[in-house]
Amino acid sequence: MTQWNVLIADRLAEEGQAILRAAARVDDRSGLSPEELLAVIPQYDALIVRSRTKVTAQVIRAATRLKVIGRAGVGVDNIDLEAARAHNVTVVNAPTAASIAVAELTFGLLLALAREIPRADAGMKAGRWMKKELKGRELHGKTLGLLGLGRIGAEVARRAHAFGMTVLAYDPFLPEEVIRERGADPADLETLYARADFISLHLPLTEETRGLIDAQALARMKDGVYLVCAARGGIIDEPALLDALNGGKVAGAALDVFAQEPPGASDLVRHPRVIATPHIGAQTAEAQARAARDIAEEVLAALRGEALRWRVV
Ligand code: 9EZ
């Protein structure tokens, strides 16, 4: 009986490695260089990566035994999908593993904005008691506008209800009844911008959504709106957001993702009313373990020729 050889090219949580080892020969070579990958890839039936390893057309051409590439997470922009298709290599990902982690970070950012928790802490660490300067706002009674109501947006909506918020959602890919089932009132973009006190983005970056939050969109929002983005860099036009912060239209913004990552100490990141985090949405022990488990199961299913939950190619 021939055994499958599986190459793990980026750090994968132990939960996933155990599932793979029960069914295949597994080499954990996380951190290997592009040259090393090219040299060893001909031996493998399956390749598992996160976002670090670039799976180029050259790698796929050299991969004469390769049947499946698994991405332990959502984004597959580090994999040449055209080359995979041309060489009959299946590509699978683990798109749902981080939904709770991202929804919880979103709430952390909403609360951090409303109560200025980072500024309060920075003051304390500098020996200052900023009590009088720290008058926040409550989420209770406010309207949260969600752009995108997929798995993450729906989890955010549930949590918003627990905080006593009214939840509006715009998602052109969902029927109104599904938006209602997920706990939000359907709204068109204009209405959402006009009514929301807090706006959070939960949509993918596509040709249609790149720069969706531009100067025009910002101008339609309420004065003093708070923005949260833990979705993808590039959805927000960052220079337009900086102008809207400086002009007083936007009261505060919390950003986990950036058009360029890392963004460095940009004017936006350093802005006193911006809270910035280094793309930590999926960075929980639980989400990483779930992504590893999901991708291990999906890659084995592909090797066995079974039905796939998350085929990309
Ligand atoms: C676009 C979207 C949501 C959206 C949601 C999904 C591809 N796509 N685009 C604009 N799944 C809100 C505003």
Contacts of 191 (CB under 8 A, 6+ apart): 168
What is the CA(206)–ligand 1 centre distance, in A?
Answer: 8
In this chain, the answer to whether the domains covering 5-97+285-304 and 99-276 adopt an identical fold is yes
Tell whether ligand 1 has an atom less than 6 A from the beta carbon of residue 153: no
pLDDT given for residue 1 in this prediction: 60
Question: CA triplet 132, 136, 138: central angle to 5 degrees?
Answer: 145
The architecture in CATH of the region 99-276 reads 3-Layer(aba) Sandwich (3.40)
**What is the average pLDDT value for the chain, to the nearest integer?**
97
Across residues 25-38, what is the average pLDDT? 97
What is the CA(190)–ligand 1 centre distance, in A?
Answer: 15
Token output for 27: 């080499």
- What is the C-alpha to C-alpha distance for residues 89 and 194, in angstroms, rounded to an integer? 47
Q: Which of 272, 267, 209 is nearest to 238 (CA)?
A: 267
The dihedral sign for the CA sequence 282, 162, 168, 237: negative
- Give the mutation target among 168, 208, 235 for probing the ligand 1 site: most ligand atoms within 8 A of CB: 208
Across residues 247-264, what is the average pLDDT? 98
Q: Which residue has the tokens 């406010």?
A: 142
Task: Label residue 2 by pLDDT band (50, 70, 90).
Answer: confident
- pTM of model > 0.85: yes
Across residues 303-313, what is the average pLDDT? 98
Fold of 5-97+285-304: Rossmann fold (3.40.50)
What is the CA(84)–ligand 1 centre distance, in A?
Answer: 26
- DSSP symbol at 284: S
- Tell me which residues are annotated as active site: 232, 261, 279
Q: Where are the domains of the chain?
A: 5-97+285-304, 99-276
The protein residue with its alpha carbon nearest to ligand 1, atom 4, reads 203
End-to-end CA distance of the chain: 28
Tell whether ligand 1 has an atom less than 6 A from the beta carbon of residue 193: no
Task: State pLDDT tens for residues 144-201.
Answer: 999 999 999 999 999 999 999 999 999 999 999 999 999 999 999 999 999 999 999 9
